[in-house]
A = this chain, B = another copy of it.
Amino acid sequence: MHLKREKALWVYERMVLIRKFEDKVHDLFSAGKIPGFVHLYAGEEAVAVGVCAHFRTDDFLTSTHRGHGHCIAKGVEVRGMMAELFGKATGSCKGKGGSMHIADVEKGMLGANGIVGGGAPLACGAALTARVKKTDQVTACFFGDGGASQGTFHEALNLASIWKLPVIFVCENNLYAEASPVKYTLNVENVADRAAGYGVPGVIADGMSFFDVYEKAGEAVRRARAGEGPTLIEAKTYRFYGHFEGDPVNYRPKDEEQAYRKRDPITDFKQKVLAKKLLKADDLEKIEKETQAEVDAALEFAESSPFPKLEEILTDVYVNYP
């Protein structure tokens, strides 16, 4: 699938921004500066960016506990995200949600989700809104290989299939759910094999390759916008860090980790766009600098922001409360 220069710049910028953001968060967590349960997306950048490269701001996505990458790919600002991780009043959610509930509804990012499988029904709902309002908006539903065992995945896929909802179910199969390997939790080779049971196309993408995800997501998005219904895409990927920050990662073979590190999606993209002469080394360098600066600025912003006022505990429970 052909990529225009401008889009290619955007793609590189988003992928690198995700990586630098996550690397920074990793360091901050290790230094004890960020509290809570934090799940990093580093290594999986090609998936979120490959899908969202087809998206408009008014398209939607639902995410998971591992949501930072989806946010950034959908255009959520990193300063608000970083402030959120610090629990600051300037965070995307005023510090009330934290990493597992980071969201930006205006940007179409309908929330990370602390419940595995929790987002799948919500994604059908966003798609239903588009259908009832007769727009051509599409919705992506990201979930993990672990999430593929949840009942909500099945229910949502069935619902989307019978109503031909414009949803793209994107399984990020990173081989593990916490410390459980997917070969233990599934009796089939591919999550995509489940699509046939719903009369829906099931597609496997190389989640370490932006171009492969981009191409397969492109067809899924086209189908969805055209009213042809949902697609299930399984992106085979890998997370570079542990399940959550603090995880000793003692359940993965070291050689497996190394092999995947060698298939870094950012390096892969870089090599390909340079080889194709789509972008120049200068472009890339500039982006690397700018994204680093953006992350640094986000950190400064977060650190210098105030904590929420205590009254904030009581607000935002209801829109209308007598």
What is the interface of chain A, defined by CB distance below 8 A to chain B? 149-155, 158, 161-162, 184-188, 193-200
Q: How many copies does the complex hold?
A: 2
Q: How far is the CA of A160 from the CA of B200 in the complex (A)?
A: 24
Measured CB to CB, the nearest residue on chain B to A185 is B162
Partner of A187, one of B161, B187, B194: B161
Q: Which residues of B contact A194 (CB under 8 A)?
A: 194, 197-198
Q: How far is the CA of A5 from the CA of B18 in the complex (A)?
A: 72
Q: How far is the CB of A155 from chain B (nearest CB, A)?
A: 5
A196 B198 Cβ-Cβ under 8 A: no
A193-B197, A194-B197, A196-B193 known; A158 and B149 CB under 8 Å? yes
A-B contact pairs, 5 of them (CB 8 A): A150-B155, A154-B154, A187-B198, A187-B199, A196-B197
Q: How far is the CA of A184 from the CA of B163 in the complex (A)?
A: 9
Q: Which residues of B contact A151 (CB under 8 A)?
A: 150-152, 154-155
Q: Which residues of B contact A200 (CB under 8 A)?
A: 187
Interface centre among A151, A152, A155, A193 (most CB of B within 10 A): A151
Measured CB to CB, the nearest residue on chain B to A160 is B187
Q: How far is the CA of A108 from the CA of B188 in the complex (A)?
A: 31
Q: Which residues of B contact A149 (CB under 8 A)?
A: 155, 158
Q: Which residues of B contact A150 (CB under 8 A)?
A: 151, 155
Q: Which residues of B contact A186 (CB under 8 A)?
A: 158, 162
Measured CB to CB, the nearest residue on chain B to A230 is B187
**Contacts A158-B185, A193-B197 supplied; 9 other A-B pairs, CB < 8 Å:** A149-B158, A158-B186, A158-B187, A162-B187, A187-B198, A188-B196, A194-B194, A196-B196, A196-B197
Measured CB to CB, the nearest residue on chain B to A197 is B194
Q: Which residues of B contact A162 (CB under 8 A)?
A: 184-187
Q: How far is the CB of A223 from chain B (nearest CB, A)?
A: 14
A188 B184 Cβ-Cβ under 8 A: no
Q: Which residues of B contact A195 (CB under 8 A)?
A: 197
A188 B199 Cβ-Cβ under 8 A: yes
Q: How far is the CA of A200 from the CA of B151 in the complex (A)?
A: 18
Q: Which residues of B contact A197 (CB under 8 A)?
A: 188, 193-197
Measured CB to CB, the nearest residue on chain B to A161 is B187
